[in-house]
């Protein structure tokens, strides 16, 4: 997809904000260290002075600056020792970037970074809401507190499949169909997978089933089709496509045909897809074309979750507090 100038500027503004926030944090921490760690400021000033001296001598022909470089390294070691002795992390004044690959610039050299590509996808498909959701629904927040017995066994099997898909993503291009009634953890596990792969730098598109087919329909039946971007280009090619709540859309021959095209095309391109649905196997077979069910049955790991709506357990637990 291509960006308008306004969209590009908006994404780049986000990178500017990230860099400004990091610089502000560094300055705040440096001020704290200067106030609390005796001798740190003086060494910082010495390093600055020695660096200037090294630069000046480097301009003089035939002058070796090796001893100055060694002196600067020794001063840096002393700084690190002062930090750790005062109880600070050695990297306290070097906080991590949100994207360590491009250092929050959007580019690695002249190449667009994966985080910029993901930002484009988010912009195109209005996925800012899913980013908020992924902060709450990920493997770090996964709990077994709301499952017991066979429900727990099925959930743990589905979790294992989700973790395996992430762990083997680069080589196996796995697909998963999470099937089960409302609130059994299907969407949660889908979000866990999406979150991990975004962090690893893969491109992820998340759609509710209804919005997926609406997006395709809007393009294909538009009277001004040539002025719009074809969404299937990204839907077919992104590293991971998540289709949440399959069956919630108004199913017809168009939807069935498009679902087959997505499942089949992504399989041919070795791209992973995760689908969650409240439908039973029979309902999937009856609602969509037989070839859709056939492809899913052949190419997807089926994870059937059972039990009551977890959200009811959570609500009751919160009410007891």
pLDDT at residue 295, as a whole number: 92
With 0-12 / 13-18 / 19 or more C-beta atoms within 10 angstroms meaning exposed / middle / buried, residue 149 is exposed
Residues in the chain, pLDDT under 50: 316-318, 320-321
Q: Are strands 107-108 and 111-112 parallel, antiparallel or unpaired?
A: antiparallel
H-helix segments, 127-280: 128-136, 149-167, 169-172, 186-199, 209-220, 232-237, 253-268
Dmax over CA atoms of the chain, in Å, equals: 83
pLDDT in tens, 180-192: 988 889 999 999 9
Rounded CA-CA distance 101/266 in Å is: 27
pTM of the full predicted structure?
0.71
Query: Where in the sequence of the chain do the CATH 3.40.50.300 domains occur?
Result: 125-320
| φ, ψ of residue 62 in degrees (nearest 5) | 80, 5
- 125-320: CATH architecture: 3-Layer(aba) Sandwich (3.40)
**Could you give the C-alpha distances from 60 to 49, 126, 156, in angstroms and in order?**
17, 57, 68
Closest CA to 93 of 175, 31, 169: 31
With 0-12 / 13-18 / 19 or more C-beta atoms within 10 angstroms meaning exposed / middle / buried, residue 237 is middle
pLDDT in tens, 244-287: 999 999 989 999 999 999 999 999 999 999 999 999 988 998 89
The two structure tokens encoding residue 212: 């997926």
The CA-CA-CA angle for residues 119, 189, 319, to 5°, reads 110
CB 211 within 8 A of CB 258: no
Closest CA to 195 of 186, 185, 179, 206: 206
CB 204 within 8 A of CB 238: yes
**Could you give the C-alpha distances from 104 to 20, 202, 204, 298, in angstroms and in order?**
10, 16, 19, 41
Rounded CA-CA distance 308/312 in Å is: 8
pLDDT at residue 71, as a whole number: 81
Distance of CA 317 to the CA centre of its chain: 30
Rounded CA-CA distance 146/313 in Å is: 6
Q: Are strands 111-112 and 204-208 parallel, antiparallel or unpaired?
A: unpaired
Q: Identify the sign of the CA torsion 73, 74, 75, 78.
A: positive
- Contact partners, residue 51, CB within 8 Å, separation at least 6: 72
pLDDT at residue 60, as a whole number: 66
Query: Within a 10 A sphere around the Cβ of 139, how many other Cβ atoms?
Result: 16
* 223 three-class SS: coil
pLDDT at residue 316, as a whole number: 46
């Amino acid at each position: 997809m291509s960006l308008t100038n306004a969209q590009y500027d908006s994404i780049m503004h986000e990178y500017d904000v990230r860099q400004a926030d990091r610089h502000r944090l560094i300055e705040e921490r440096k001020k704290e260290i200067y106030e609390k760690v005796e001798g740190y400021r003086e060494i910082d000033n010495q390093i600055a002075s020695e660096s200037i001296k090294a630069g000046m001598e480097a301009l003089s022909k035939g002058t070796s600056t090796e001893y100055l470089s060694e002196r600067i390294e020794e001063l840096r070691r002393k700084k690190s020792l002062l930090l750790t002795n005062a109880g600070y992390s050695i990297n306290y004044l070097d906080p991590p970037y949100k994207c360590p690959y491009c250092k929050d610039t959007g580019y690695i050299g002249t190449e667009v970074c994966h985080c910029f590509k993901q930002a484009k996808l988010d912009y195109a498909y209005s996925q800012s809401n899913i980013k908020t959701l992924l902060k709450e629904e990920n493997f770090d927040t996964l709990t077994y507190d709301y499952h017991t017995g066979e429900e727990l066994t099925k959930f743990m099997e589905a979790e294992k499949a989700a973790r395996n898909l992430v762990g083997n993503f680069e080589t196996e291009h796995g697909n998963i169909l999470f099937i089960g009634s409302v609130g059994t953890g299907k969407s949660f596990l889908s979000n866990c997978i999406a979150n991990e792969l975004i962090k690893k730098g893969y491109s992820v598109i998340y759609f509710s089933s209804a919005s997926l087919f609406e997006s395709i329909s809007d393009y294909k039946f538009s009277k001004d089709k040539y002025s719009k971007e074809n969404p299937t280009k990204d839907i077919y090619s992104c590293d991971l496509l998540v289709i949440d709540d399959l069956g919630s859309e108004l199913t017809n021959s168009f939807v069935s045909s498009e679902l087959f095209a997505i499942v089949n095309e992504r399989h041919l391109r070795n791209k992973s897809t995760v689908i969650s649905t409240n439908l039973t196997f029979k309902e999937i077979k009856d609602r969509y074309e037989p070839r859709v069910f056939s492809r899913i049955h052949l190419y997807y790991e089926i994870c059937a979750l059972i039990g009551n709506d977890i959200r009811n357990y959570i609500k009751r637990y919160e009410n007891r507090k």
